[in-house]
A = this chain, B = another copy of it.
Amino acid sequence: MLEFFKVTDLASVFKNAEAFTPVDAETVPLPESCGRVLAETISADRDLPEFLRATMDGYAVKASATFGASDGSPAYLTVKGTVSMGQTPTFSIAHGEVCRISTGGMLPEGTDSVVMIEHTEMLDDTTIEVYRSVAPGQHVVEVGEDFRRGQVILEAGQYLRPQETGLLAAFGQQSVRVFRRPTIAIISTGDEVVPIDSTPVQGQIRDVNSYSLSGQVLAAGGIPVRYGIVRDNYEALYATCRDALTGSDMILLSGGSSVGVRDFTIDVLTQLPDSRILVHGISISPGKPTILANTQKKAVWGLPGHVVSAMVVFKVVVQPFIEHVAGLSPSQRQAFRIPARLSRNIGSAQGRTDFIRVRLTRDNDEYRAEPILGKSGLLNTMVMADGLIEIDVNTEGLDAGAEVAVIPL
């Protein structure tokens, strides 16, 4: 009655990612680059900064003029004017002279450092006492100290955070080549699933997966496109998949928990043009019945119908594929996991990788990961959860106090 399939282990599933081509690039205005993936490698076209720049308010000076200065034996120096912000100084400074300068100002010729205003006293309009010596280069940023002309500043495949967007601004990039955000089609299946604006009768449930998966796609950097609910019907599923393939970079089918839909899904993914099933079952829990096909070089997933299983599979299996397709370089793909200590023993079957929902609580300087009990189909366990812990395929369980690495949800 049931097809018994040979499950694939998680590591082998991930090896399929390289089969799918990253999306192409587009040009966006700089302010829209934040949160995107850079599609070009960018080099510095100039030094940053391009001039010797003060990092303190005070007096620009040749450091050697202050050597030996102390409270008891100050250096007396002549003030030769003020550096105007944003202007190239029109004068130069001789030994024994200084000029007033503000943070960010350009040091004039003849100076190499800044005496902080706190270490000086004005004697009259043109003379100051300096109580502290400075070293050459003190309280200044050297030419090219931040970035040198010709240096690679950002590489293709890098995720752009606010500081990288700032860096692009510093080099005058008004627009930037980024990878297009991949479009991810979301299709719910199952005769028991009704749209959220329906009132379900006994035996029906509302279409939760279309919305929870949309949220996950957005959080993973994709653009979700909802195709709604497809009935347990081969022709309908085939037609919807065919439509979705033309407009998307990946397809997420969810549902098919009933035998009929599961069979249809397999049939459709086998019979679509240029389509091949790569994975039919993964040795993970929850999420074992997950299907992956390569259809016209696009990943098509058959996710479990259970909301929780579908969300867990998305997080731990699908998301790395989206990140690959989105152009992220491998070093950028792994989000930080939060080290924590397990609050209680948990068992696990050998031969599969278990993902356990946990709540995080602070326990002095560390986090305590408290497993959330409850049947895997219950949405409330996901609402209570802060993250997931992974119990390795070769581990029979973990003891209370074990160090775990929590995947944030």
Interface residues of A in 372-409 (CB under 8 A from B): 375-380, 382-383, 385-386, 403, 405, 408-409
Q: Are B103 and A35 in contact (CB under 8 A)?
A: no
Q: Which of A19-27, A47-55, A270-278 contacts B (4 or more CB under 8 A)?
A: A47-55
Contact between chains at B85 and A215 (CB < 8 Å)? no
Residues of B within 8 A of A214 (CB): 31, 34, 162, 165
Q: Mark A27-61, 1 if CB is under 8 A from B, else 0.
A: 00011001100000000000011110101010000
Interface residue ranges of A92-130 to B (CB < 8 Å)? 102-106, 117, 122
A222 within 8 A of B: no
Say yes or no: A30 contacts B196, CB within 8 Å.
yes
Q: Once the chains bind, are A206 and B146 in contact (CB under 8 Å)?
A: no
A168 vs B210: C-alpha distance in the bound complex, in angstroms?
Answer: 12
Q: What 0/1 pattern do residues 198 to 224 of A give for CB contact below 8 A with B?
A: 111111111111111111101100001
With A212-B163, A307-B166 known to touch, is A365 a contact of B339 (CB < 8 Å)? yes
Which of chain A's residues 54-81 have a Cβ closer than 8 Å to chain B?
55, 57
Instruction: For A198, list chain B residues within 8 Å (CB).
Output: 172
A75 to chain B minimum Cβ distance, whole angstroms, is 19
Chain B min CB distance to A106 (Å) = 4
A155 to chain B, nearest CB (A): 11
Q: Which residue of B lies closest to A402 (CB)?
A: B365
Asked whether any CB of chain B lies closer than 8 Å to the CB of A192, the reply is: yes
- Which residues of A from 153 to 199 have beta carbons under 8 Å from B? 153-154, 160-174, 190-194, 196-199
A161 lies within 8 A of B409 (CB): yes
List 30 A-B residue pairs with CB atoms under 8 Å apart, sorted by A's residue number: A31-B211, A31-B214, A31-B215, A34-B218, A50-B202, A55-B306, A55-B375, A57-B259, A85-B192, A85-B203, A86-B192, A86-B194, A88-B203, A104-B258, A106-B203, A141-B377, A146-B379, A146-B380, A161-B409, A162-B212, A162-B213, A162-B214, A162-B311, A167-B208, A168-B211, A169-B212, A170-B205, A172-B197, A172-B199, A172-B206
